[in-house]
């Protein structure tokens, strides 16, 4: 005979807490952005290209756009190709594109958009200088400020919309148009060897290609956190921050200074004042002023 829990007259039935919740389409992407914010992914839209970026060139073997601060030159640097698992076949080109990541800080360029023009970007090197496409077609990155020669217009091509030979890749490719209406290009190794006798693949990068082709289509990988923010994933968190949802002052107020059923509200002006006080070294004084202002008892001052 099973023993049941005693019930008394007048007891209200307890509602069971639901364990399931509605799953948002962006939950998985948000979880990945929080778990691995530094992971490298392919953006699927020009507006999502932001932050630290890894520009891969269509050379054989695979190279990337790099900056040599010692020799003051822009060049195609070889990338570290990941090894295939033991007992497995060699990685395919698409698998290499998916797995490759920058191994040197000079292989990373920070994408920044010019104010007033969301379509125009600039590439900042690890030393704080910007990629420059000169009218002669040469590339450099020694200018510490941005100007027309540092302006680049990216155009993204998805595999479905691409019809060239580079469309065999399942990842989006892009072209970079300069201020002179020409394109950045990475000539194939055979073309370079025929013209200059160089044995290094992609040893010379140019910025004077008139028509975009296979040599002008690059791949770009950005860090997952910045792509997620560019998609609007960080907008909700930003609004929560402006409302004071994650501020340390909220926690302190709930612990010792709240009133009215534990409500604590922090305005945007108060948040800015606290940040300014922390920057000026007056954070403790500002917190005491806030405590006196938030107290419901007028004699607490």
Q: What is the pLDDT of residues 86-108, one digit of tens each?
A: 766 678 888 888 889 998 999 99
In the prediction, which pLDDT does 177 show?
A: 93
Residue 146 has pLDDT above 60, yes or no: yes
**Distance between CA atoms of 123 and 109, rounded to whole angstroms?**
6
In the prediction, which pLDDT does 261 show?
A: 55
More confident residue, 135 or 7: 135
Residue 201 has pLDDT above 50, yes or no: no
Name the token pair of 221: 């990988």
Residue 245 has pLDDT above 50, yes or no: no
What number of other Cβ atoms are within 10 A of residue 208's Cβ? 17
Contact (CB, 8 A) for 250 and 258: no
**Distance between CA atoms of 135 and 182, rounded to whole angstroms?**
9
Residue 166 has pLDDT above 70, yes or no: no
Q: Model confidence over 15-64: pLDDT tens digits? A: 655 544 444 555 566 666 666 678 899 998 888 898 999 999 998 888 99
Residue 77 pLDDT class (50, 70, 90 cuts): very high
Output the CA angle 39-41-46, nearest 5 degrees: 135
Q: What is the DSSP letter of 238?
A: H
**Distance between CA atoms of 252 and 205, rounded to whole angstroms?**
56
Tell me the percentage of the chain whose pLDDT exceeds 90.
28
**Distance between CA atoms of 111 and 226, rounded to whole angstroms?**
10
Report how far apart, in Å, the C-alpha atoms of 75 and of each of 10, 20, 54, 216 are: 81, 53, 14, 15
Q: What single string gives the DSSP state of each residue in 2-39?
A: PPPPP--TTPPPPPPPP---PPPTTHHHHHHHHH-TT-
Residue 152 pLDDT class (50, 70, 90 cuts): very high
Residue 202 pLDDT class (50, 70, 90 cuts): very low
Rounded average pLDDT over 134-146: 91
Rounded average pLDDT over 8-21: 60
Averaged pLDDT score across all residues of the chain? 76
Residue 133 pLDDT class (50, 70, 90 cuts): very high
């Amino acid at each position: 005979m099973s023993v049941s829990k005693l019930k008394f007259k007048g007891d209200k039935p307890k509602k069971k807490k639901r364990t399931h919740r509605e799953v948002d389409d962006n939950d998985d992407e948000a979880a990945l952005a929080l778990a691995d914010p530094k992971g490298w992914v392919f953006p699927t839209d020009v507006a999502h290209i932001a932050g630290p970026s890894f520009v891969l060139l269509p050379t054989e073997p695979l190279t990337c756009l790099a900056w040599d601060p010692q020799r003051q030159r822009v060049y195609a640097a070889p990338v570290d190709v990941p090894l295939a698992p033991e007992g497995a076949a060699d990685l395919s080109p698409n698998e290499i594109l998916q797995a490759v990541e920058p191994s040197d800080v000079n292989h990373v360029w920070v994408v920044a958009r010019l104010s007033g023009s969301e379509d125009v970007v600039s590439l900042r090197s690890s030393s704080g200088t910007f990629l420059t496409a000169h009218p002669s077609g040469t590339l450099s990155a020694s200018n510490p400020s941005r100007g027309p020669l540092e302006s680049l217009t990216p155009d993204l091509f998805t595999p479905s919309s691409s019809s060239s030979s580079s469309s065999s890749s399942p990842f989006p490719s892009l072209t970079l148009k300069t201020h002179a209406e020409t394109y950045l290009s990475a000539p194939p190794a055979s073309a370079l060897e025929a013209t200059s006798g160089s044995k290094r693949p992609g040893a010379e990068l140019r910025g004077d290609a008139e028509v975009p082709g296979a040599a002008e289509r690059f791949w770009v990988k950005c860090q997952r956190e910045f792509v997620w923010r560019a998609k609007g994933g960080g907008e909700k968190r930003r609004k929560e921050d402006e409302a004071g949802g994650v501020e340390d002052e909220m926690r302190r107020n709930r612990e010792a200074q709240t009133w009215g059923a534990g409500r604590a509200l922090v305005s945007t002006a108060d948040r800015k004042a606290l940040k300014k006080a922390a920057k000026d070294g007056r954070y403790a004084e500002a917190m005491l002023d806030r405590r006196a202002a938030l107290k419901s008892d007028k004699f607490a001052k």
